[in-house]
Amino acid sequence: MKSYKLLIGALCLGSWSSAAMAQDVTLRFAHWLPAQQALPSTGFKEWTESIHEASRGSIRFQMFPAQQLGSAENHYDMAANGIADITWTNPGYTAGRFPVSDLLQLPFVIGDTLNGSAAATEWYQQYADQEMSEVVMCMIHGHYPGTLHSKEEIRHPDQISGMSIRPATSTIAQFVSELGGASVQVSAPEAREALARGTADAIFFPSGALNLFGIDKTTRYHIDYPVYSSWQAILINRNTYERLNDQQQAVIDDHCNGEWATRVSRGWEEEELAGLEKLRTSPEHTMIELTDEELAAWREAAMPLLENWAERVRDAGYEPESLVTDLRERLAAVDAMVEGALIE
C-alpha cells in the first residue's frame, strides 16, 4: 500500500511538473553578427538548445541575426522596448550610458577573456539591475583581445595624431581622441567599406574577425598584443522574463551566470585564435612586436581613460576604487588580467 501511494505521488508530481512547463513561448533573439560566425553557430546555439531542453521544450527561440531587427547600436533599446525578447548588445556602443560596465572596455585590462568572462559576469551582475533597469542582464562576455590593424605601420601612440580610426567602442573612441585622432563611427559590418574608401586609416578590431568581415583585405599591419577587448551582454526584456512561469524563470536563471558566459564564448575564442594564427603566418601581413618602451607609452597614453571613467562613475553614485578593487580581485583569481594592467 505504501509503495502504491509513493507511485501515485510520483506520477502526480511528474504531471504537475509537466504542466508547470506547458506554457510554450517563442523568444525573439536578435543580434548583429552574421549567422555563420562562431558565436551564433556555437555559443548561442548551445545556450538556446540547453534552455529548450531544460524547459522540456516549452521555451523556443527565433533568431534574428545580422541587424535584421535594428542596427547594432540599438540592440539595448530593442531589448528594453520589447522589439526583441533577447538581444546581444555591446554596451560600449552607447557612450556614457552604462558607466560601470565601461571599466571592462578600457584598454590594457583583460588578457584572458575566456576566464575573464565568468569573473566579469559575476562582478557586473551586482550593478546591472541599477544600470540596466529596463532589462535582465543575463551575462557579459568579451571576445579574445583585439588590437590595432592599419594600412601603414603604427608602433607608437604619437602616430595616431591626425589619423582617422574606426574604434571598437565608445571607450576606444575616447582613446583615439586623447591621442589626437578622429573616430570614424561605423558598426562592425560597415567597417570594411570605411577602410576601403579611405574614410578610416586603421581599426581597433578582434584579429580573427578581420577575415569574416573582409577587413584583412584592407589592413596589412597588426600590433601583436592584446590591446583591448570589446564586451557584449545577453539581455532579456524584463516584461518577457516576468511573463514566464516560475519554472521557466528558473531555467533562464540557471543559464545566466559566469559558467555560461565562458561556455558561450568558447567557440568564438577558438575562431579568434585561428584567425590570429592565420595573420601571423601570412606573408601578406606584418605582425608588429612592440618594444617595452613602446608598450609603456601605450599604457601611459591610456591612463586618462581610467581617470575619466572614475570621475563618471563617481558622478553616477558609485565608488570607483571599490569597483576597481572588486574587479581586479576577481580577475586576478583566475589569472585573467593582462600583464601590466591599467587597473593594477
Listed by start position, the domains of the chain span 24-94+111-142+229-272, 147-228+284-333
Q: Over 90: is that where the pLDDT of 9 sits?
A: no
Residue 299 contacts residue 289 (beta carbons within 8 Å): no
* Beta carbons within 8 Å of 142's beta carbon, 6+ residues apart: 104, 110, 113, 116, 117, 120, 229, 230, 231, 232, 265
The three three-digit cell numbers of residue 189, written as one number: 559590418
Q: Do 215 and 191 touch, CB atoms closer than 8 A? A: yes
**Could you tell me the maximum CA-CA distance found in the chain, to the nearest angstrom?**
87
Q: What is the pLDDT of residues 270-304, one digit of tens each?
A: 999 999 999 999 999 999 999 999 999 999 999 99
Quick one: which H or E segment has residue 222?
A: strand 221-223
- Of the candidates 164, 149, 144, 168, the one whose C-alpha atom is nearest the C-alpha of residue 91 is 168
327 falls in which pLDDT band (50, 70, 90)?
very high
In this chain, the answer to whether the domains covering 24-94+111-142+229-272 and 147-228+284-333 adopt an identical fold is yes
Pair 30, 69: CB distance under 8 Å: yes
- Torsion angles phi and psi, residue 144, rounded to 5: -50, 135
Give the residue-averaged pLDDT of 322-326: 98
Question: 11 or 34: whose pLDDT is higher?
Answer: 34
pLDDT digit string (tens) for 100-149? 999 999 999 999 999 999 999 999 999 999 999 999 999 999 999 999 99
Burial 41-63 (b: 16+ CB within 10 A, else e): bbbbeebbeebeebbeebbebeb
Write out the CATH class of domain 147-228+284-333. Answer: alpha beta
Q: Within 10 A of 166 (CB to CB), how many other CB atoms are there?
A: 27
Contact 197, 140 (CB under 8 A): no
pLDDT of residue 110: 96
Per-residue pLDDT at 13: 39
Conformational region of residue 287, where left means phi above 0, alpha means psi within -120 to 50, and beta covers everything else: beta
**Which grid coordinates are listed for 314?**
563617481
Digit-coded pLDDT (tens) for 48-87: 999 999 999 999 999 999 999 999 999 999 999 999 999 9
Answer yes or no: is pLDDT of 22 > 80: no
Q: Which three cell numbers stand for residue 27?
A: 523568444
Residue 91: what pLDDT? Answer: 93
| Whether CATH 3.40.50.300 fits 24-94+111-142+229-272 | no
